[in-house]
């Protein structure tokens, strides 16, 4: 919660602000902003010899495209307002990256660390049953995915429960994404959000004139990064930025505190260290600099808050010294802190753009599930043979031969992970270019977040208009 306004109100305020740069009629804007369906559930779960009443939600924000889509989070912070805000962000996110879904989100108000695996399984299965009862889940209705506190394991439980009730439904495997590979998941989904964060930052930093304005040189290589939260999104952003982008990770924070090393922290080794010791504190060469929020104030080129919402507030915003803030988490900057950061010269890459990699690859997984075959299975061998024939012709014409290794590289088809990553890369680059073009076309648009909302609003509005609902 930021000051007096809730998370959902703050998302709505951003939308109102962006709407000033569009010519959408007020009624249409109100429809776009409204949450269409809110399901609040209470159910009992047996814990030891007693029962605990669990509070849970599923919100479908917008039905302008179907199915609706969005993660399920397990966290004590979950309440109706948070789930509504996150569902709304999903609608804008899907529109921005041209993923043909409406936005949704789910949440169970629990701290998963308090429960055994068996208890988590029964909570997940009961929640899924409630969604089935209310027609809030299905490959053409509403498709959940992982979020904070959930992962492939929970998605496998959801699938199994759904299939038990919908036996024989041919597309049932598309009722949830982010599943384990062995359970009809897709390669690359687990790291997709972090990988998308990397592609988005890299694309943004490739524009020399934009970087000059914030005092940076062009290109991601050699730049310094600080990451808050080493979960799915944070650890993959850090690992991929380090390995593929040549970024130096100088600060990391987790629940137990923040660490700093000006010489760079090897994230792979840090993750192993945390697995062994249960903490990042004491990692060789690093300095313990304070609580989990301390890392946010480290002077760096790129700050990646990848834990939870409301981490940068009016209280700590004046002390943030990052040139680029990539909102890998949803809502890590409160609405009242945002102008402080912009005034201090930071560039903010908004959550619903920069963390869109997860839903993008979820879309690929859903497509794979509905088509009932692995990408490349039909065409790879055919294409490979066609490329071989061309190579043979070239060899005959030139009298030269190429090595077996070169032949293999030139003729093989793409593997699933290569196709997924290239689709993700293309999606993140294309969306950034659309946002940047929007800013270039209207110099009054003040920042990237507003421009991204303008793009998303125009796309959702054009769906409603083409449906004939609004003139
Ligand atoms: P996760 O549960 O895998 O990881 C979250 C990590 O943050 C955990 O390691 C946790 O210990 C740490 N953490 C919690 N409080 C902290 C604090 N105060 N300071 C530092 N670290 C803290 O969750 P995730 O899936 O990585 O999600 C993180 C954020 O990214 C959420 O806002 C989520 O909505 C968003 N997101 C996730 C996905 C996805 O595909 N998983 C997609 C889009 C957006």
Q: Which of 234, 236, 295 has most ligand 1 atoms within 8 Å of CB, for mutation?
A: 234
User: Is the Cβ atom of 8 under 6 angstroms away from ligand 1?
Assistant: no
Question: In which residue ranges of the chain is CATH 3.40.50.720 found?
Answer: 192-357
The sign of the dihedral angle between the CA atoms of 89, 95, 97, 100 is positive
Q: Is the CB of 149 under 6 A from ligand 1?
A: yes
**Pocket of ligand 1 contains residue 329 by CB under 6 Å:** yes
pLDDT tens profile 392-406: 999 999 999 999 999
User: Is 277 among the catalytic positions?
Assistant: no
Distance CA 253, CA 137 (A): 36
Mean pLDDT in the chain? 96
Q: Would the CB of 201 count as within 6 Å of ligand 1?
A: no
pLDDT grade, residue 381 (50/70/90)?
confident
Structure tokens of 344?
Answer: 């201090």
- CB of 310 shorter than 6 A to ligand 1: no
Tens-place pLDDT, residues 100-122: 999 999 999 999 999 999 999 99
> Is the C-alpha dihedral spanning 89, 293, 432, 420 positive or negative?
negative
> What pLDDT does 467 receive?
83
Q: Give the integer Cα–Cα distance in Å for 471 and 467.
A: 9
CB–CB of 326/95 below 8 Å? no
- Contacts with 334 (C-beta within 8 Å, 6 or more apart), sequence order: 2, 3, 10, 310, 312, 313, 314
Question: Looking at the domain covering 35-183, what would its CATH class be?
Answer: alpha beta
Ligand 1 geometric centre to CA of 460 (Å) = 28
For residue range 290-330, list pLDDT tens digits in order: 999 999 999 999 999 999 999 999 999 999 999 999 999 99
CB-based contacts of 380, cutoff 8 Å, min separation 6: 412, 413, 414
Q: How far, in Å, CA of 77 to CA of 93, rounded?
A: 22
Fold of 192-357: Rossmann fold (3.40.50)
31 CA → ligand 1 middle, Å: 30
Residue nearest to atom 16 of ligand 1 (CA): 255
- How far is the centre of ligand 1, averaged over its atoms, from the C-alpha of 109 (Å)? 15
Q: CB of 254 closer than 6 A to ligand 1?
A: yes
Task: Give the atom of ligand 1 at the shortest distance from the alpha carbon of 231.
Answer: 4
Q: Return residue ranges of the chain for CATH 3.40.50.10860.
A: 35-183
Separation in Å, CA 293 to CA 79, 142, 231, 289, 439: 23, 35, 16, 10, 32
User: Which atom of ligand 1 is nearest the CA belonging to 148?
Assistant: 23
pLDDT number for residue 417: 94
pLDDT the model gives residue 425: 98
Cα 440 to ligand 1 centre (Å): 33
Whether ligand 1 lies within 6 angstroms of the CB of 258 is answered as no
Q: What per-residue confidence (pLDDT) applies to 18?
A: 97
* CA-closest candidate to residue 467, choices 136, 32, 2, 17: 32
Locate 53 and state its tokens: 């009443």
Q: Annotated catalytic residue: which of 33, 69, 93, 105?
A: 105
For the entire predicted model, the pTM comes to 0.94
Percentage of the chain with pLDDT > 90?
92
Whether 1 has a pLDDT exceeding 60, the answer reads no
Query: Does 308 sit in the ligand 1 pocket, CB within 6 Å?
Result: yes
The pLDDT value recorded for residue 442 is 96
Q: Which of 76, 232, 296, 361 to mutate to test the pocket of ligand 1 (most atoms within 8 A of CB)?
A: 232
Residue 469 has pLDDT above 80, yes or no: no
**Per-residue b/e over 106-115, b at no fewer than 16 CB within 10 Å?**
bbbbbebeeb
Instruction: Judge if the beta carbon of residue 230 lies within 6 A of ligand 1.
Output: yes
CA distance 228 to 300: 13
Residues contacting 120, CB < 8 A, separation 6+ = 74, 112, 154
Atom of ligand 1 lying closest to residue 355 CA: 43
- Predicted pLDDT at 466: 86
Give percent above pLDDT 70 in the chain: 99
Give, using CA atoms, the residue closest to atom 28 of ligand 1: 307
CA distance 45 to 40: 16
Q: Check pocket membership of 376 for ligand 1, CB cut-off 6 A.
A: no
**Segment among 226-240, 273-287, 403-417, 451-465 with least mean pLDDT:** 403-417
Beta strands 300-305 and 322-326 are: parallel
Cα atoms in the 13 Å half-sphere on the side-chain side of 390: 9
Q: 231: Cβ below 6 Å to ligand 1? A: yes
Cβ(290) – ligand 1 distance below 6 Å: no
**Protein residue with its CA nearest to atom 6 in ligand 1:** 231
Determine which residue's CA is closest to atom 41 belonging to ligand 1. Answer: 147
Place of tokens 């619903």: 352
Cα 235 to middle of ligand 1, angstroms: 9
- How many CA atoms are closer than 13 Å to the CA of 5, on its beta-carbon side? 14
* Rounded-to-integer distance, Cα 114 and Cα 77, Å: 14
pLDDT given for residue 259 in this prediction: 98
pLDDT value of position 62 = 97
Distance from residue 101's CA to the centre of ligand 1 (Å): 23
The protein residue with its alpha carbon nearest to ligand 1, atom 4, reads 231
CA of 445 to the centre of ligand 1 (A): 30
Residue 402 CA to ligand 1 centre (angstroms): 48
413 within ligand 1 shell (Cβ under 6 A): no
């Amino acid at each position: 919660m930021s000051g007096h306004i809730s998370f959902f109100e703050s998302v709505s305020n951003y939308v109102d602000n962006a709407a000033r740069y569009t010519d959408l009629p007020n009624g249409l804007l109100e429809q776009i902003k409204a949450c269409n369906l809110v399901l609040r559930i209470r159910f009992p779960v047996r814990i030891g010899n007693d029962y605990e009443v669990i509070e849970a939600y599923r919100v479908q924000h917008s039905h302008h495209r179907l199915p609706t889509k969005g993660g399920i989070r397990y966290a004590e912070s979950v309440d109706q307002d948070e789930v509504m805000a996150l569902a709304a962000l999903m609608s804008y996110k899907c529109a921005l990256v041209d993923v043909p879904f409406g936005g949704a989100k789910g949440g169970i108000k629990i701290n998963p660390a308090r429960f055994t695996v068996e208890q988590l399984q029964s909570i997940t299965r009961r929640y899924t049953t409630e969604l089935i009862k209310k027609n809030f889940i299905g490959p053409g209705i509403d498709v959940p995915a992982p979020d904070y506190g959930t992962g492939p394991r929970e998605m496998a439980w959801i699938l199994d429960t759904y299939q038990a009730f919908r036996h024989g439904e041919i597309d049932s495997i598309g009722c949830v994404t982010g599943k384990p590979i062995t359970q009809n998941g897709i390669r690359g989904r687990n790291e997709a959000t972090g990988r998308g964060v990397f592609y988005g930052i890299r694309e943004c930093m490739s524009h020399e004139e934009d970087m000059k304005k914030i005092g940076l040189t062009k290109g991601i290589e050699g730049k310094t990064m600080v990451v808050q939260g080493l979960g799915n999104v944070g650890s993959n952003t850090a690992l991929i930025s380090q390995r593929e982008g040549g970024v130096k990770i100088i600060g990391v924070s987790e629940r137990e505190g923040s660490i700093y090393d000006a010489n760079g922290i090897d994230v792979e080794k840090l993750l192993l260290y945390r697995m062994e010791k249960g903490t990042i504190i004491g990692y060789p060469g690093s300095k313990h600099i304070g609580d989990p929020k301390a890392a946010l104030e480290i002077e760096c080129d790129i700050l990646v808050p990848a834990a939870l919402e409301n981490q940068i507030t009016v209280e700590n915003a004046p002390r943030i010294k990052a040139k680029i803030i990539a909102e890998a988490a949803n809502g890590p900057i409160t609405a009242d802190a945002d102008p402080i950061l912009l005034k201090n010269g930071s560039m903010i890459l908004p959550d619903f753009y920069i963390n869109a990699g997860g839903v993008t690859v979820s879309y690929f997984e859903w497509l794979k599930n509905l088509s009932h075959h692995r990408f490349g299975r039909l065409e790879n061998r055919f294409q490979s043979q066609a490329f071989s024939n061309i190579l043979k012709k070239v060899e005959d014409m030139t009298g030269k031969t190429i090595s077996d290794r070169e032949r293999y590289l030139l003729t093989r088809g793409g593997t699933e992970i290569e196709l997924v990553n290239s689709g993700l890369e293309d999606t993140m680059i294309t969306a950034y270019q659309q946002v940047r073009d929007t800013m270039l076309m209207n110099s009054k648009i003040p920042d990237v977040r507003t421009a991204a909302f303008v793009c998303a609003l125009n796309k959702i509005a054009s769906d409603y208009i083409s449906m004939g609902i609004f003139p």
